[in-house]
Amino acid sequence: MRDQRVRSGEIELAVRERGEGNRPTVVLVHGYPDTGAMWDDVAERLAARFRVITYDVRGAGGSSAPRDPLDYGLDALMGDLEAVLDGVGADEPVHLVGHDWGSVQGWEAVIGDRLRRRFASFTSISGPDRRHLARWVRTAMRSGPRGVREVLGQVRRSVYMPVLMAPRAGELAARLLPAGFARDLRLREGAEPRPGHPAATLARDARNGLGLYRANMGRRGAPPPEGDGRTDVPVQLIVPIKDRYGSQPLLLSPRGIVPNLYVRRAPAGHWVARSNPDLVARWITEFVEHVEGGPETPGLAHARAAADPAKEFGGDLVVITGAGSGIGRATARAFADAGARVVVADIDEGGAKRTVDEIGATGGEAHVYRVDVADPEAMEQFAHYVKDTWGVPDIVVNNAGIALAGSLLETPEEDWERIRSINIDGMYRGARLFGRQMVERGEGGHIVFLSSLAAFTPSPELPAYGATKAAVLQLAECFRLDMERYGIGVTAVCPGAVDTPITRQTRFVGMAPAVDAELREKMARAIERRGYPAEKVARAILRAVRQDAAVVPVAVEARVARTIARVSPGANRALARLGRRAGDRILTDVRQRLG
């Protein structure tokens, strides 16, 4: 490491250099209320391949503060960045990385004419460009209720900004900030405050850094410049999905504007460079080496596909079991329409091929795989094949399942074993095998379990099915708590009475063949009259993944039943008794008619 001082007007900037001088240069710019030390873990990893430059921005760490507390405008900050580049002898274009306010500076540098030609690439972490922000707000507010909710959600995340901008209140907040900053890192980010940055120094830096807000926002701030924020510099967005201060819609606002854009979603919070330095360093390395002439890795290809604003799941790899028909097929088509690559798995290979053909006919990408989720060895082979052929899945939908009706007294061992091996064991295998891959990759993901209305509605006619689906619901709840430490979401989906082929495949145990067939037909016709299509469940699944929902009852009867089960278990059982009496009447009628 080599330390030096660089002068920018009246300001002296503390600059640190790592790595060999003949390698591509990476410049890391920190945000508020940090110093260049927040990059230490990332910089140490990058220094093996690059020349790495970090510096304390004006008013922070070892750099001096301006006499005017408002001399923190972006023009002044651009002057500091230019002085650093000149001071370290950066004659060739460098690779810029910014976090928080450092990212705001980075956007200004790669969009404006003053410095743009000095950068070969830009990696932005948790800091929007002001042009993109303004355009996003206008577009979202005009797009309807969802857009309005997104803007209001970002407003809620930004309530601290008016406090920091206000006289006296900002100074008080700056004194309190060190404790909150340390707590946020420990509890939410999985990291500790950087040693060597004592609370007193942090409080001073926090007070000085109030100028960032006061000089660039509100009435004193410069008006947003003209233009839509385009740049010909290749840009990589690293979006922490648990960022408390910047919502995903805001941080994704460059999509559709910046032409050469790559989007990565990190399973972390705002200080992702502190909590996940290996991941951040790996992504920066892949991007810089590609810009320097190296091949596009599969991860970068995925990131490039994710930059399409019209494809919500662009480039994602989605594995769906039981996708040869019903909810699985509808979900596969929905993900493919949203830009995902889909692996369509089913024990019915013909049905899976039809799903793949339907997706291909609309221009989507899908691949077929025949697997029996009840076979442990086959599922092991399936998981290995997916990873070796297409990579680690981003989303797994454990959908494969069967139904069985009739009294528990009439349910033979072989039927019980079969429904358990598919409905529970199959879910367990899909979650465990692909979950391990997601954890090892370290880039997050999402796993969906298809449960049922029967999970919280007792029924004497569906004891085996209800028991397995209740187990799936609890399995998902437990697994969600286990996986959240890795940034992997888990959702249990409880559809309700949905019109799918499973109704005509449901066998009634203990019944004569003719009675079984008649009851099956009656149930299928009743659900067809209900008219709830699988496509609505598919849309709910995509929404649940996007929102990282824990439990999603889909149809109205599922939502009502879950509410009753939680509020009044006695009423839930009473309704089940009414259902049993109705079922007994139907069974008696069928038996009488069939003799």
Decide if 18 contacts 51 (C-beta within 8 A): yes
d(CA 395, CA 446): 5
d(CA 63, CA 13): 4
d(CA 296, CA 290): 6
Q: Compute the C-alpha angle 527/533/538, nearest 5°.
A: 135
Please name the residues in contact with 28: beta carbons below 8 A apart, sequence gap of 6 or more. Answer: 36, 39, 42, 43, 52, 53, 54, 97, 98, 99, 102
d(CA 32, CA 245): 12
β-strand pairing of 365-370 with 341-346: parallel
β-strand pairing of 94-99 with 25-29: parallel
User: Which two tokens mark 315?
Assistant: 């480039």
Residues designated catalytic: 465
3-state secondary structure of 34: coil
Could you identify the residue written with the tokens 């397995």? Answer: 468
Alpha helices in 185-314 (DSSP H): 199-208, 210-216, 248-251, 272-275, 277-291, 298-305
Closest C-alpha among 351, 409, 123 to residue 258 = 123
Q: Can you name the residues that pair with 317 across neighbouring β-strands?
A: 341
Query: What are the CA-CA distances from residue 482 to residues 390, 443, 582 (Å)?
Result: 26, 16, 41
d(CA 178, CA 190): 17
Per-state percent for the chain, helix, strand, coil, to nearest 5: 50, 15, 30
User: Which two tokens mark 159?
Assistant: 């309530």
